[in-house]
Structure 1
């Protein structure tokens, strides 16, 4: 593959195109300053304004959320996996019907395999603009987002209506539901009973991995972060490895499915037969299936990178009721 062909599979941090109207809470005070990014795959945006950088199916989606301090993402649920790692800043994740069942604070490099089937939200509690990178299970990301009832009600009060088909209409732009199309119904009390309310003690040990713990695990070989035999044991349709300057890999890496490389710290040189590229934190690179490649730090100093590879497993539920 030529450098030009591979360059089309690299999304640079500085080239990311945000969408500020991606979801139903885009006008809700406290959530109206967030920016959503769809990097690989169609994502779960409810807005036609969302730009997709790489549309090639990978078996999973890659996205990101950027938020200023004190900005939050409203309570929602997914039918497939949702994994976040912190690229920049300090973030509080919370979950439950009203967001008070449990919470955890993540620092840069920490990763959270959020269980499916529970309402979750997150907010930037740092002092500067923060960014979290996301991995969503499945090519269609599970068919969209399930919102807590109060989120839909709050959005309606601020001019946004979500249709039953999952499309967003903004009355501030003169839009309204088309004739014959119904608004997204609120979940009933009976339906809400199907959403678990796990505690912090149940979730954090089984679904959160800390950056410095992974650095220690990756002393000689990549640390297995998410997978059937990994630190966070799960089969969400993809596997995640953590690689550091101690575990640089030669040019014999090869996978049956595309691999996505996302640096957390340091600069990384990726080589393949026909070219090379250097990645920085915030960049995302998709290596085609059956392509031999190598990765190594491009300079001295601390370096860490997350690698995601699809497995072909169904991107199903991850909450096991630990």
Structure 2
């Protein structure tokens, strides 16, 4: 692989292009300052303004959300896995029909594997602009977002209408639904009964891993975070590991699956057959199967990196009984 080919597979944090109109709550007060980033794959954005950095998917999607303090993402659900790790800031994740069934606060480096089939939202409760990185199961990320009814109703009062085709229309800009396209239907009371309301105690032990716990486990080998036999046992169509200094040997290795490298702390040197590159916190690198590579911290100090690999498992965890 040439350096030019590898460079095309590295999305730098500083080059990320945000979309401020990605979802139906883009005009709703309290949610109108959030930014959505689609890094690998089409993601779940409802806006034609969304920039996609790398369209080819490795069996899952990579995205990110950036929000100033006190900005929240409205209650929604997905049909496949939605995993977040906190790159910057302090974040509160909450869930349930009204967002009051349970909650957890995540610090930098922490990761949450949110169960499918529940409404969830999140907000930046830190003092500065925050950033969370997302892994979404499936090549098509599960076919979009399912919004809690009140989110659709609130959005209509601020000019945004979601069509049944999954696209947004801004009535304040004079846009209207095309002929033959109806508004997205609101879930009925009977349909809402299918969405579980798990408590904090039911979710956190099974779906949240703390950064320093993972760092301790990654002292001599990668910490297995999500996947078969990992800290979080669900198999959502991909597996996640946390690497730190000494986790892997310096020799090159190959894989028969796609591998995504996402530094959390420190600078990492990626050596591959054909060249080398330095990966920094917030960067995303997509290494294809069969390419011999090694990755090691390039400087002293704290270093950690999330590594995501595609698997053949179904793309969505469910709430444990």
Fold similarity call, TM over 0.5: yes
What displacement does 1:56 show? 1.2
What displacement does 1:249 show? 3.6
Counterpart in 2 of 1:239?
239
* SS of the residue 1:260 aligns to: strand
Counterpart in 1 of 2:320?
321
Task: Tell me if the contact between 2:116 and 2:319 (Cα under 8 Å) persists in the aligned partners.
Answer: no
Q: CA RMSD in A?
A: 0.8
Counterpart in 2 of 1:29?
29
**Paired residues, what number?**
321
Counterpart in 2 of 1:254?
254
Gap change, CA 1:176 and 1:251, over 3 Å in 2: farther
What displacement does 1:251 show? 3.7
Task: Tell me if the contact between 2:262 and 2:307 (Cα under 8 Å) persists in the aligned partners.
Answer: yes
Distance across 2 between alignment mates of 1:250 and 1:272: 12
Q: TM-score, normalised by structure 1?
A: 0.98
Distance across 2 between alignment mates of 1:153 and 1:57: 33
Distance across 2 between alignment mates of 1:246 and 1:130: 29
What displacement does 1:320 show? 3.5
What displacement does 1:246 show? 2.6
- Once the two structures are superposed, what CA deviation does each residue of 1:266-289 show, in whole Å capped at 9, x if it has no partner? 000011111100011000000011
Counterpart in 2 of 1:206?
206
Distance across 1 between alignment mates of 2:251 and 2:190: 54
Distance across 1 between alignment mates of 2:239 and 2:47: 29
Task: Tell me if the contact between 2:252 and 2:272 (Cα under 8 Å) persists in the aligned partners.
Answer: no
Task: Report 1:90-105 matches (<5 A).
Answer: 90-105=90-105
* SS of the residue 1:155 aligns to: helix
Task: Report 1:1-322 matches (<5 A).
Answer: 1-316=1-316, 318-322=317-321
| Contiguous gaps of at least 5 residues in structure 2 | none
Task: Tell me if the contact between 1:251 and 1:292 (Cα under 8 Å) persists in the aligned partners.
Answer: no
Task: Tell me if the contact between 1:251 and 1:271 (Cα under 8 Å) persists in the aligned partners.
Answer: no
What displacement does 1:293 show? 0.7
Structure 1 outlier segments of 4+, above 4 Å: none
Task: Tell me if the contact between 2:258 and 2:286 (Cα under 8 Å) persists in the aligned partners.
Answer: yes
What displacement does 1:40 show? 0.2
Task: Tell me if the contact between 1:262 and 1:283 (Cα under 8 Å) persists in the aligned partners.
Answer: yes
What displacement does 1:6 show? 0.2
Task: Tell me if the contact between 2:220 and 2:248 (Cα under 8 Å) persists in the aligned partners.
Answer: no
Distance across 2 between alignment mates of 1:195 and 1:251: 47
Distance across 2 between alignment mates of 1:26 and 1:147: 13
* SS of the residue 2:191 aligns to: helix
Q: TM-score, normalised by structure 2?
A: 0.99
